[in-house]
Amino acid sequence: MSVHKQQAAPPKARLRVVNTEEQGQRIDNFLIKVLKGVPKSRIYKAVRSGEVRVNGSRIKVSYKLKSGDKVRIPPIRYAQANQPAVIPPNLLDSIPVLFEDQYFLVVDKPAGLAVHGGTGMQYGLIEAFRQLRPETEFLELVHRLDRETSGCLMLAKTRKALLALQQQLGQERTMGKYYLALVEGVWKGKTRTVNFCLTRKTETGKDKRSVVDRNGQQATSKISPITRYHQSTLATLVEIELKTGRMHQARVHCSSSGYPIAGDRLYGENEFNKKMKKLGLGRLFLHSHKLKICHPITNKPLTLEARLPCQLLSVLGKLES
Does position 186 have pLDDT exceeding 90, yes or no? yes
Same-domain pairing of 224 and 261: yes
Same-domain pairing of 50 and 141: no
Same-domain pairing of 69 and 95: no
- Determine which of 132-136, 175-179, 313-317 has the lowest per-residue pLDDT on average: 132-136
State yes or no: is 213 an active-site residue: no
Same-domain pairing of 65 and 98: no
- Its pTM surpasses 0.85: no
Considering the candidates 28, 146, 207, 213, report the single residue annotated as catalytic.
Answer: 146
C-alpha 312/C-alpha 199 separation (Å) is 30
Same-domain pairing of 167 and 42: no
Same-domain pairing of 261 and 162: yes
For residue 10, the model assigns a pLDDT of: 56
Does position 150 have pLDDT exceeding 50, yes or no? yes
Does position 269 have pLDDT exceeding 70, yes or no? yes
C-alpha 315/C-alpha 320 separation (Å) is 9
For residue 77, the model assigns a pLDDT of: 65
Residue 35 DSSP class: T
SS (H, E, C) 98-164: EEECCCEEEEEECCCCCCCCECCECCCHHHHHHHHCCCCCCCEECCCCCCCCEEEEEEECCHHHHHH
Does position 205 have pLDDT exceeding 70, yes or no? no
For residue 80, the model assigns a pLDDT of: 47
User: Could you give the number of structural domains in the chain?
Assistant: 2
Band of residue 36 on the pLDDT scale cut at 50, 70, 90: confident
Same-domain pairing of 60 and 153: no
Band of residue 7 on the pLDDT scale cut at 50, 70, 90: low
| Domain carrying residue 219 | 91-320
Residue of 90, 99, 24 whose CA lies nearest to 62 = 24
C-alpha torsion sign, points 39, 125, 134, 175:
negative
Band of residue 91 on the pLDDT scale cut at 50, 70, 90: confident
Same-domain pairing of 44 and 124: no
Same-domain pairing of 140 and 184: yes
pLDDT one-digit tens code per residue, 110-148 = 999 999 876 667 788 998 998 888 888 889 999 999 999
- Determine which of 151-155, 166-170, 255-259, 303-307 has the lowest per-residue pLDDT on average: 166-170
Cβ–Cβ contacts within 10 Å for residue 210, how many? 23
Same-domain pairing of 35 and 167: no
Residues composing the chain: 321
Q: What is the mean pLDDT of the chain?
A: 89
CATH number at residue 185: 3.30.2350.10
Does position 284 have pLDDT exceeding 90, yes or no? yes
Instruction: Specify the higher pLDDT residue, 48 or 121.
Output: 48
CA-CA-CA-CA torsion for 289, 294, 295, 299, nearest 10 degrees?
170
From the DSSP assignment, how many helices (H) and strands (E) are in the chain? 7, 15
Does position 31 have pLDDT exceeding 50, yes or no? yes
Please report whether residue 160 resides in a domain.
yes
CB 300 within 8 A of CB 101: no
Band of residue 204 on the pLDDT scale cut at 50, 70, 90: low
